Structure 1
Amino acid sequence: MKSEQEDSLGLAFQPSFDEISPSLYETTFVVVDLETTGGSHNSEAIIEIGAVKVRAGEIIGEFQTLVNPESPIPPFITVLTGITDAMASTAPKIGEALFSFLEFVGPVSESVLVAHNAPFDIGFLKAAWSKLEIAWPAYQVLDTAKIARYVITRDEAPNCKLSTLSTFFGATTNPDHRALSDARATVDVFHGILDRLGGHGVQTLEDLRSFSNRVTSAQRRKRYLAEGLPNSPGVYVFRDDQGSALYIGTTRNLRNRVRSYFTAAETRKRIHDMISIAVSLDVIQTATIIEAEVRELRLITEKQPRFNRRSKFQAKSLWIKLTREAFPRLVAIRGAKGLDDDSGWAGPFNGRDEAARAIEALYEVTQLRQCKPRITLTSIKSASPCALFDMKRCGAPCIGQESIDSYSSHVKAIHQSLHLDARPALSSLNQRMVELAEQERFEEAAEARNRLGALIRGSARAQRIRSLTRVKELIAARAISTNTWEIVIVRHGKFAASAIAKSSNYKEVVESLRLTAEVVFDNGEVLPASHHEEVEALLRYLDQEGIRIIEIDGIWALPTFGSAAARSEIEKVRAKVDANTYKEDFANSVDRFAQRSTS
């Protein structure tokens, strides 16, 4: 293992509370069990939900409801569970039952789901939830059956069925194929498992998750690569026997992150494959996490490590632009080299489809030509207009029907929408979407919504990138403790330097850092000094709460009525809806599902 010390500050790194896994004593677990009409998530239905909420070994709540499956319950299920059609007919339907259950469970950040043979129960819950067209909350899930296989030998218990383990651990409730009874029995089994795991040093939720997975032989053999690493932020590079980079990553804590690759917490197959051929590890310590993130991006772009997936092809990212010709048109291009502010551009976009939607959105609000051939005096003599001219969606400059001066008004409107004021275009697109919805042309309305979203996202990203790359120098500070600050210098959207400073000497550190920071020149390009991912990483850093701008050479601002402002407002509304009208949204989704089911 080779260590490259990039900063001599010698300050220890203290992880945030978010990075510390909660202890099992502090964690709220919700043990859930279902009764269903059969074994298939897709074709069968839930008929009962039972759950028990526990914390610190104590039961703090219970939940039980029958569910109306809206179909006959098979006789063998009635015999097994005792649940009849008559009992279920007056029960709430799945939408109402699921909403009540998730209210009982609580937020993702506060509760962990536990089930015996979790893929069955959680699979049914996810399938039912997806039919309501709502994203399933990303709860952490533990499987008592899976964990039990690692802590109980066959000599102690012949199998890991719930009935067998309930007897083994002396559960106070016998499982009887009713959801709440089985959930209570699972609680006793879960607590019995936790008692055993305490002897294995399992004290936190992360310990428990790690223990429930297997460690490969390659992970055991290569653990020496994680020895002697510092607790500082930085970049790590796994290398093969030829010294080529296999995988590059970044972290706030090199020691903890690299160690995790050699534990059962790492379950990705490609990472297992990478570890099996890795023979060495290099680390680069950095003063700040943002410096580590930037160095990672640059190294991935330069080294093209075979096991990294993201950030390898930034130079091939998709953008849209107006062409430079007498009658410009919109095109999608790969790479930012061909962009310039005079012509108008937006992006990057997440794929060719997203870029195409943004272009289609702009075509809807202007009469910009959509044909590809270059228009010349010669071509005008032999050209014929397309259907768009008859539909009054194009002025037909291809046949000389529209002059350069007249056509330039469309170009200016596009440029204005992309760079300065998006209101006219967004208002027109939104109105079109509303009209389609009122006409009950819902699929077309959804497509219009997608085009509008693509345009907002792409032009908002462009405006944010442009805002920072135009700033000659920006020096920011963020408090990391009572009297300690991290200082970051950004020049033309490129990371130039960072350091840690005490409150008593931060001015001296800033001046010293400025003198040693990377010199960055503005070459007139849209991205004068870096790739877009570096600029956006810096923007995310600068957007953090607590960031202070110490000095700035230039104007860092966004257009008041640009797409970035529109996107911000949309996100605020979405957050408000998520927080305050979740129940209403849920009810609407249930209604839509019910209407579709009966149609």
Structure 2
Amino acid sequence: MKLNLDKPICFFDLETTGTNIATDRIVEISILKVFPNGNKESHTWKVNPEMPIPPVVSAIHGITDEMVANEPTFKELAPKVYSLIKDSDLGGFNSNRFDIPLLAEELLRAGVDFEMKNTLSIDVQTIFHKMEKRTLEAAYKFYCNKDLTNAHSAEADTMATFEVLEAQIERYDALENNTKYLAQFSSHKKFADFAGFIGFDKQGNEVFAFGKHRGSKVEDILENEPGYFGWLLNADFPLYTKKILTAIKLRKLNNKLD
């Protein structure tokens, strides 16, 4: 079944140096841009992460230091990547919890002011787990009756993810064929940041989701404990989390001035 789109959607997959959103880097990125008229545009780049790739990670995705030594850095690729995704919704496999947060970090690190305010994100893994609870390889076999022979290649995983979503829509009558519904269905608990450090209370206020101030309103803590804000900005938190914290603090200040 053809995916019903209101605007383009970019399915993408990252291969990385590890799983730490704040400190690990991209070594390969593949983007499949699907347009409402059904046209597709695909791009895959190897990326020099400017740091060693641990051998245990290379054993998983097959990308070594030597393979990326002469490839562009993500900062060099960032304008091309952002140009592809800036007008699109996003889709991926475990993308809400890993790929989108890590991509946001890399874009911010490259000086690109990445935002998700007007972007929907569809996590195909979440739909799969809610319906079948398996892996991408099993999903590809189950929904598409194909073997994913090149798993952990960003390009193969990206193409498989797109095909699985189309097959999921075909299989499940309960799934509506529109990106807003699919984004809501595939979302987890809502957070203000990607990494899950800032949540929301029942009134929609940002609250800390960790540490000694868990459950407390962020704007109250930042106002009453300015030293805590300084500590957060200097600690090893993701750049996007720091961006959200700064925006909350500035919003509170602007409200006072008004």
TM-score scaled by structure 1?
A: 0.30
What is the Cα deviation at residue 149 of structure 1? Answer: 2.6
1:136 is matched with: 114
State the identity %. 24
Distance 1:41 1:25, change over 3 A: closer
What is the Cα deviation at residue 49 of structure 1? Answer: 0.2
Which residue of the other structure, out of 64, 78, 87, is the alignment partner of 2:44? 64
Q: Which amino acid aligns with 2:161?
A: T
Corresponding residue SS for 1:32:
strand
Corresponding residue SS for 1:127:
helix
What is the Cα deviation at residue 214 of structure 1? Answer: 8.2
What is the Cα deviation at residue 28 of structure 1? Answer: 2.0
Is residue 2:69 matched to residue 1:94?
no
1:444 is matched with: none
What is the Cα deviation at residue 176 of structure 1? Answer: 1.8
Deviations 1:4-43 (A, max 9, x none): xxxxxxxxxxxxxxxxxxx924442211000001111122
Structure 2 counterparts to residues 41-80 of structure 1, below 5 A = 41-55=21-35, 58=38, 60-80=40-60
Deviations 1:235-274 (A, max 9, x none): xxxxxxxxxxxxxxxxxxxxxxxxxxxxxxxx954059xx
| Counterpart contact for 2:137–2:147, Cα < 8 Å | no
Bigger RCO (CA 8 Å, 6+ sep): 2
Please give the alpha-carbon distance, in whole angstroms, between the structure 2 residues aligned to 1:96 and 1:59. 27
How much is the aligned-residue C-alpha RMSD, in angstroms? 3.2
Gaps of 5+ in 1: 1-22, 154-158, 216-266, 273-308, 310-348, 356-457, 459-531, 533-599
Q: Which amino acid aligns with 1:193?
A: Q
Structure 2 counterparts to residues 106-121 of structure 1, below 5 A = 106-107=86-87, 111-118=88-95, 119-121=97-99
1:14 is matched with: none
Q: Which amino acid aligns with 1:117?
A: N
Please give the alpha-carbon distance, in whole angstroms, between the structure 2 residues aligned to 1:190 and 1:103. 24
Please give the alpha-carbon distance, in whole angstroms, between the structure 2 residues aligned to 1:352 and 1:206. 33
Please give the alpha-carbon distance, in whole angstroms, between the structure 2 residues aligned to 1:78 and 1:87. 10
Is residue 2:65 matched to residue 1:82?
no
1:169 is matched with: 143
Gaps of 5+ in 2: 190-198, 205-216, 218-249
Distance 1:352 1:113, change over 3 A: closer
Deviations 1:490-510 (A, max 9, x none): xxxxxxxxxxxxxxxxxxxxx
Structure 2 counterparts to residues 441-590 of structure 1, below 5 A = none
Please give the alpha-carbon distance, in whole angstroms, between the structure 2 residues aligned to 1:56 and 1:206. 14
Which residue of the other structure, out of 127, 131, 134, is the alignment partner of 2:105? 127
Q: Which amino acid aligns with 2:202?
A: R
Q: Which amino acid aligns with 1:212?
A: S
Please give the alpha-carbon distance, in whole angstroms, between the structure 2 residues aligned to 1:40 and 1:350. 29
2:244 is matched with: none
Corresponding residue SS for 1:270:
coil
What is the Cα deviation at residue 84 of structure 1? Answer: 2.0
Which residue of the other structure, out of 161, 168, 189, is the alignment partner of 1:193? 168
Q: Which amino acid aligns with 2:68?
A: A
Distance 1:149 1:92, change over 3 A: same
Number of residue pairs matched by the alignment: 199
What is the Cα deviation at residue 124 of structure 1? Answer: 0.9
| Counterpart contact for 2:25–2:49, Cα < 8 Å | yes
| Counterpart contact for 2:78–2:112, Cα < 8 Å | no
| Counterpart contact for 1:172–1:188, Cα < 8 Å | no
Q: Which amino acid aligns with 2:143?
A: F
Deviations 1:451-484 (A, max 9, x none): xxxxxxx6xxxxxxxxxxxxxxxxxxxxxxxxxx
Is residue 2:186 matched to residue 1:209?
no
Please give the alpha-carbon distance, in whole angstroms, between the structure 1 residues aligned to 2:69 and 2:188. 44
Please give the alpha-carbon distance, in whole angstroms, between the structure 2 residues aligned to 1:137 and 1:171. 36
| Counterpart contact for 1:171–1:185, Cα < 8 Å | no
| Counterpart contact for 2:169–2:177, Cα < 8 Å | no
What is the Cα deviation at residue 101 of structure 1? Answer: 1.5
| Counterpart contact for 2:78–2:110, Cα < 8 Å | no
What is the Cα deviation at residue 58 of structure 1? Answer: 4.0
Please give the alpha-carbon distance, in whole angstroms, between the structure 1 residues aligned to 2:165 and 2:37. 10
| Counterpart contact for 2:124–2:186, Cα < 8 Å | no
Please give the alpha-carbon distance, in whole angstroms, between the structure 2 residues aligned to 1:204 and 1:27. 10
| Counterpart contact for 1:63–1:104, Cα < 8 Å | no
Distance 1:44 1:213, change over 3 A: closer
Please give the alpha-carbon distance, in whole angstroms, between the structure 2 residues aligned to 1:117 and 1:213. 10
Distance 1:92 1:350, change over 3 A: closer
Is residue 2:248 matched to residue 1:270?
no
What is the Cα deviation at residue 187 of structure 1? Answer: 0.9
Please give the alpha-carbon distance, in whole angstroms, between the structure 1 residues aligned to 2:64 and 2:29. 15
**Structure showing greater Rg:** 1
